Chain A
Amino acid sequence: MNFNFSKYGPKKHEVFAYKCPGCGKLYYPAVMVCDQCHTRRDPSNYFFKDWEKIPLEGDCTLLTWTRVYALPEGYMKKYQDFGIVEFANGLRASGQLDVATPEIGMKLKSSVGVVKERVGKDNYGFIFVSP
């Protein structure tokens, strides 16, 4: 007998861009109406289908960054680096940074990991790392 245990494996976490079904424009984060063709989005899938979700990943360029020593409640570390990046498709995103010596303009790639530990419900999101 063959058992398929794949569903018990680690869940793959991704961050998605949203594709307007009217004109194909990509958004991150999602909007409720396309600013190009004005097509609406229904995240509840109640009245019409939600927009297609496209994994936002890959190579990106660091636009600016900081190392923050005064973190908000819930972060049990001395400091955390953050950055804003631009992906090859022109979309931009903010996220955490995990590189030894960040520099504006450096090439990075996106990964998705735990960005905030919460009991039973960790937050997952972008962590930008060296390629």
Chain B
Amino acid sequence: MRNVAIVGIGHTGFGNLSSMDLVDVLGFASCSALEDAGILDQRRDLVEQVFVANMGAGRVNSASAVASALVSRIGLEPAMAETIENGPASGASAVKLGMMAIKSGMVDCVLVTGGELMRAVSGWEGTDFVATMLHTEAEYAYGLTLPSFAAMFTRLYMQRYGLTERELAMVAVKDHENGSKNPYAHVKVPCTLEAIHDGENANVVNNIVADPLRLYGMCPVSDGAASLLLCATDSPKMKFFKKQPIRISGVGSATDTQCVHLRKDPLVLDAVRLAAERAYAMAGLGPKDISFAELHDAFVILELAISEEVGFFERGKSREAVVKGETRIDGRLPINTSGGLKAKGHPLGATGVSQIFELVKQLRGEAEEGRRVANPKHGLAVNFGGFGNNVVATICSREDV
């Protein structure tokens, strides 16, 4: 079967871009990816297919069919174009579908762009919109939201494994440290344990949002876009690309019950485990081969839980790795080197693409000083949809390993 490489990457800054047009935001990231690949002027000849990952443009931005709009905005007609919606996992799903399109032999070169403008609406409306991915009758109708489920998950995890609020805060401090060095991050300001947990004003700075989760236990609401250019490694088009190709060595995805209460053990994230197992199997790798990871920490508890499900740590033990500094940038297994969703931000449709953008940056050795992983070979990204009911895992590898 054909191999697929990422040959160009692009990213907007994440933050508040609500004064911009969504298609312009998608267009900026897309043009950056085409420029990075060195084919901005030949794009019409080389790009055959475009996938756009987006969750809420129809509702939040009154814009539909955004893939068609993007193609027109950046002059890529007559490329084929489709919009992919898979909740917060839309981004990695679009990359997966791009890879499948190439592996099928139908096309050689695919542009995948994910983006979202969530701050076009109020926080209340945004929270409500995101909650529409929950079960309409048994969850959403009650006012339950994603932070509600993350908080209930956290409480149960704390009770079962003895996780403390201080340890959760340490995850946030680590992520913000990385995010402060990432030029694309929404929050570029580092925070200290003193400020968000140990100090006398910590309760004010880091107030409870969904007990026991505090403000620094969750990601900001962000706008932004990220883009990747994919190409078959056996394609004659490869000669046009200027940058070191990074191989997509494994992709896996899996689903779980939509209602969280239907899971036998609410702390077990089966879809994460299965998605990772499928990605490892495709890549011929295991958790011990992974040099660094981008894990979907929309809530910091998820960084811990996902790191256990993908096999990095035993269940309940990831907190010990955090305390020992093993997941810091200079640790044994750096996690969320970009700052993660926690600091970099979480524009839903962009997130999965942005995670893979970070894998490519690290594997090329292009990450900024102070957040660069030493000699990475394989990176894992986990993009988590719903409250774990649709998860996509992607492994990227250097071509020379």
Contact = CB atoms under 8 A, between A and B. Distances in A.
Contacts of A74: 124, 128, 143
Contacts of B212: 66
A107 to B, nearest CB: 17
A92 B147 contact: no
A60 B211 CA distance: 22
A96 interface: yes
A84 B148 CA distance: 11
B156 A104 contact: yes
B151 interface: yes
A95 B210 CA distance: 15
Given A69-B208, A104-B159, A82 B259 contact: no
A29 B142 contact: no
Contacts of A129: none
30 contacts: A29-B135, A63-B156, A63-B266, A64-B152, A64-B266, A66-B148, A66-B151, A66-B152, A67-B208, A67-B210, A67-B211, A68-B210, A68-B211, A69-B208, A69-B210, A69-B211, A70-B145, A70-B147, A71-B143, A71-B145, A73-B124, A73-B127, A80-B143, A82-B142, A82-B144, A83-B152, A94-B144, A94-B259, A115-B142, A125-B141
A129 to B, nearest CB: 15
Contacts of B144: 82, 94
B62 to A, nearest CB: 17
Given A72-B128, A73-B122, 12 more contacts: A64-B156, A66-B151, A66-B213, A68-B210, A71-B127, A92-B262, A93-B138, A93-B261, A94-B260, A104-B155, A104-B159, A116-B143
A64 B155 contact: yes
A66 B209 CA distance: 10
Nearest to B136: A29
Interface residues of A, number: 30
B244 to A, nearest CB: 43
Nearest to B127: A72
A34 B345 CA distance: 40
A29 B134 CA distance: 12
Contacts of B211: 66-69
A123 to B, nearest CB: 5
B259 A72 contact: no
Interface of A: 28-29, 63-75, 80, 82-84, 92-96, 104, 115-116, 123, 125-126
A3 B245 CA distance: 83
A79 to B, nearest CB: 9
Interface in B118-142: 122-125, 127-128, 131, 135, 137-139, 141-142
Nearest to A71: B143
B148 A29 contact: no
Interface residues of B, number: 36
Contact of A29 (B127, B138, B151, B153): B138
A92 B127 contact: no
A117 to B, nearest CB: 11
Interface string B193-232: 0000000000000011111110000000000000000000
A116 B141 CA distance: 7
Contacts of A28: 138
Given A67-B210, A68-B147, A68-B148, A94 B261 contact: yes
A92 B261 contact: yes
Nearest to A28: B138
A47 B104 CA distance: 40
A104 B208 CA distance: 19
A4 B47 CA distance: 74
B50 to A, nearest CB: 33
Contact of B124 (A29, A71, A82, A95): A71
A72 B124 contact: yes
CB-based closest 7 A-B pairs: A66-B151, A72-B128, A92-B261, A73-B124, A29-B138, A64-B152, A73-B128
Contacts of A93: 138, 261
A72 B213 CA distance: 17
Contacts of B266: 63-64, 84
B129 to A, nearest CB: 8
A125 B141 CA distance: 8
Contacts of B124: 71-74
Nearest to B130: A72
Interface in B236-277: 259-262, 266
Q: Which of A70, A72, A92 has the most CB of B within 10 A?
A: A72
Q: Which of A84, A95, A123, A125 has the most CB of B within 10 A?
A: A84
A66 B155 contact: yes
Contacts of A63: 156, 266
Contacts of B213: 66
A66 B138 contact: no
Contacts of B127: 70-73
